[in-house]
Structures are given as C-alpha cells and as structure tokens.
Amino acid sequence: LPEVVRRADVVVAAVGRPAMVQGDWIKPGATVIDVGINRVDAPERGEGKTRLVGDVDFERALQVAGAITPVPGGVGPMTIACLLANTLTACCRSNGVPEPEGLTA
C-alpha cells in the first residue's frame, strides 16, 4: 500500500484506522483528503478523555502534502451538508413538491 500511495497525486483515506496512512507514504505536493473519523484515547486531556483523529498521520503528512483536510473539521461539514441537501431533495420528490433552486449541482 505505501508504494501505491507514494505514486498518487490525490490520496483519499477512508479506512477506519487511526493514522494508518503515514507521512512518508505521501508524494510531495499531493492532495490528501482524510475522510476517517476515529476516537482515540487522549490521556493528556485527563483520565478517560478522547480526541478525534483521521486515517492519516496529520502532523507528518502536513510536512509533505500540498494540501490536506484536517480531522475534525475537514470533510465532515461537507458530508453533513450533502446529507441534508439529499434528504430535502428526497422529501420534495416523494411529496411532489418542487425542489429549492440551487440546492444541488
């Protein structure tokens, strides 16, 4: 897998394993889209505390990538926006109501 990732101009990571994609796997200048959301222990925040991380080792990949999405706050808000738009579209279609203009591309 590392050899495949090293050749990619765009890497989309959605494997469900925290920091699986290592920084040294990233081709210099590549765009990295981290879709993963993983909860890991964060003892520095206190006993029993956790934090969210992606499937990419963000700090190391940041040093190499041309662009990278953070976790949290990266693709998550766009995913939610698309889900809501699709839900509204489905509701309109199933009830014979015109869809709002400009909601979808």
Query: Mean pLDDT, the chain, as a whole number?
Result: 94
> Are residues 59 and 15 part of one domain?
yes
Domain shared by 54 and 102, yes or no: no
Burial 30-64 (b: 16+ CB within 10 A, else e): bbbbbbbbbeeeeeeeeeeeeebbbbbbbebbeeb
Q: Is the pLDDT of residue 103 over 90?
A: no
> pTM of the full predicted structure?
0.80
Query: Do 43 and 57 lie in a common domain?
Result: yes
- pLDDT of residue 2 exceeding 70, the answer is yes
pLDDT band at 105 (very low <50, low <70, confident <90, very high): low
Q: What pLDDT, on the 0 to 100 scale, is given for residue 101? A: 86
Instruction: Say whether both 46 and 83 belong to one domain.
Output: no
Q: Name the nearest CA neighbour of 89 among 22, 46, 81.
A: 81
CATH number for 54? 3.40.50.720
Number of structural domains the chain divides into = 2
Tell me: do 37 and 85 sit in the same domain: no
Range of the domain at 49: 2-72
